């Protein structure tokens, strides 16, 4: 880890944040402990991450996690992001074959047309040499409402942010994500 984690010790506000994370994940997550060096950034990122993970039946959590996993693969965040999102997908009971083939989604029958379109959108935003053409965006609009497109785009942006920060600061994987959540 290139930057030391911040412990809550005497900071009541940070203790509250860490307790909230412990309720949700079982631990105060390493990336947020690093972000705690700049509490305003940590809180802003937490609010944005929470906003893009609000319940939306048009953008189910397993789709969000598939997108997250694919972005982590593209950006090379293999030490933290890939295991974390793999864990989360398993926790959501996503079929193992679907998890393992996310990089080959385009030629797979495991993904719906909507999932394929969302994954391609994530790739087009994440890979610098690609772009989102007008015709591709029209295809997206056939599957997603404008509010859903805003949420989908924000999710992709947030995940690109996290993969870059975690990788650059060499944040170690939290032990909770090393476990296999399948029954």
Map out the domains of the chain with their CATH numbers: 61-178 (1.20.1290.10)
Q: Which parts of the chain register pLDDT below 70?
A: 180-183
pLDDT confidence of residue 181: 66
- Chain-centroid distance of CA 160 in Å reads 8
CA–CA dist 84, 181 (Å, integer): 11
pLDDT confidence of residue 40: 94
CA–CA dist 171, 166 (Å, integer): 5
pLDDT confidence of residue 180: 67
CA–CA dist 111, 119 (Å, integer): 10
pLDDT confidence of residue 75: 97
CA–CA dist 49, 64 (Å, integer): 11
- Chain-centroid distance of CA 152 in Å reads 11
Q: Which of 115, 57, 53, 123 is nearest to 88 (CA)?
A: 53
Q: Which residues contact 168 (CB under 8 A, 6 or more apart)?
A: 2
pLDDT confidence of residue 142: 97
pLDDT confidence of residue 5: 96
- The CA-based diameter of the chain, rounded to the nearest angstrom, is 54
In sign, the C-alpha dihedral spanning 90, 95, 96, 100 is negative
């Amino acid at each position: 880890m290139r930057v030391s984690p911040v412990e809550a010790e005497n900071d009541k506000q940070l203790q509250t944040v860490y307790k909230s994370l412990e309720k949700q994940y079982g631990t105060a997550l390493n990336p947020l402990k690093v972000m705690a060096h700049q509490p305003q950034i940590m809180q802003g990122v937490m609010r944005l991450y929470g906003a893009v993970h609000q319940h939306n039946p048009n953008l189910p959590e397993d789709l969000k996690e598939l997108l997250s996993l694919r972005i982590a693969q593209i950006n090379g965040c293999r030490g933290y992001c890939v295991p974390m999102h793999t864990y989360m997908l398993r926790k959501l009971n996503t079929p193992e074959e679907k998890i393992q083939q996310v990089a080959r989604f385009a030629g797979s029958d495991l993904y719906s047309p909507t999932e394929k379109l969302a994954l391609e959108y994530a790739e087009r935003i994440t890979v610098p040499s690609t772009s989102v053409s007008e015709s591709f965006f029209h295809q997206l609009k056939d599957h997603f409402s404008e509010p859903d497109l805003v949420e989908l785009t924000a999710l992709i942006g947030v995940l690109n942010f996290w993969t870059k920060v975690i990788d650059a600061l060499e944040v170690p994987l939290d032990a909770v994500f090393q476990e296999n959540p399948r029954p």
